[in-house]
Amino acid sequence: MARVMIVDDALFMRQLLTKIFVDEGYEVCVEAGTARDAVEKYKEFKPDVVTMDIVMPMMEDLDGIGAVKEILKFDPRAKVVVVSVMGEQSLVVEAIKAGAKDFVVKPVRPARLLDVVKGLLR
């Protein structure tokens, strides 16, 4: 089964997303709580899919968008799904420009998210 990496600064969201994936039989191989951590963990674990909270605070010179860009620089074929709150159109657009493959809007609907991931893994 596909391996998923979950990036979100909120533990609650990480747990919620993990449950969505695990219930569906995916393996959540690693989680990251900061943008910098996300980039490093990606390089280490090379997951099949990444869900990336786009509205993460800037830490160690890197925010959500920065993480998307770094991950795609490292692996142009990375499958990054952006998770955004309503109204952050410009961030989503920037992420897509950087190479994010798809996005979902919070509050995340499990079926929608799984749909996205399934589509990317096909």
Partner 1 sequence: MQDSYRELFLSESQEYLSNISNRLVKLESNPSDPESLNEIFRCVHTLKGMSATMGYERLTQLSHHMEDLLEELRGQKRKVTPEIMDVLFASVDVLSELVEDIKTNRESEINISAYISELEQIIHSDIPSASKAEAAFPRGKTSPVHPESIEFSEEELKAIRYAKSKGFNIFKINIRLVSDCLMKESRAFLIITNLKKIGEILKAVPPVEELEKGFFDFSFSVVLITREAQAVIRQEMMMISEVEGVYVNPVEVSAPVGPAANTPAHAYIKKIQSLRIPIERLDKIMNLIGELAIARIRLSQIVANIKEESLEEASVLLSSLISALQDEIMQTRLLPVAYILDTFPRMVRDMAKKEEKRIDLEIVGSDIELDRVILDEIGDPLVHLIRNSIDHGIESPQERKAVGKPPAGKLQILVSRQKGQISIEISDDGRGVEFDAVKNIALRKGLITQEEADGLDDKKVLDLISLPGFSTSEKITDISGRGVGLDAVKSKIESIGGRLDFTTNLGKGSTFILSLPFTLAIIKAMLVRVGKEVFAVPLINIRETIKVEKHDIKVLQNLEVIRVREEIIPVLRLDKEFVITISPEDKNRNALGEINSNQEDGRVPIVIVEFGKHSLGLVVSQVIGEQDIVVKPLTSLIKRTRGIAGATILGDGKVALILDIMSLK
Buried b (16+ CB within 10 A) or exposed e, 61-82: ebbbbbbbbbbbeeeeebbbbb
Task: Name residues contacting partner 1, limited to 68-97 (CB under 8 A).
Answer: 84, 86-87, 89, 92-93, 96-97
Count of residues that interact with partner 1, criterion CB under 8 A: 18
Decide: is 102 part of the binding site for partner 1 (CB under 8 A): yes
**Residue span binding partner 1 (CB under 8 A) among the ranges 19-27, 32-40, 44-52, 100-108:** 100-108
**Least Å from the CB of residue 93 to partner 1:** 5
Q: To 10 degrees, the CA torsion angle through 8, 10, 15, 16?
A: -90
64 vs 11, 30, 80, 110, 119, CA distance in Å?
16, 17, 11, 22, 23
Q: State which residue, 16 or 120, has the beta carbon closest to partner 1.
A: 120
Q: State which residue, 56 or 100, has the beta carbon closest to partner 1.
A: 100
Decide: is 39 part of the binding site for partner 1 (CB under 8 A): no
| Displacement of CA 87 from its chain's centroid (Å) | 18
Decide: is 104 part of the binding site for partner 1 (CB under 8 A): yes
> What is the distance between the alpha carbons of residues 27 and 62, in angstroms, rounded to a whole number?
27
For residue 43, count other CB atoms closer than 10 A to its CB.
Answer: 12
Binding site for partner 1 (CB under 8 A): 84, 86-87, 89, 92-93, 96-97, 102-105, 112, 115-116, 119-120, 122
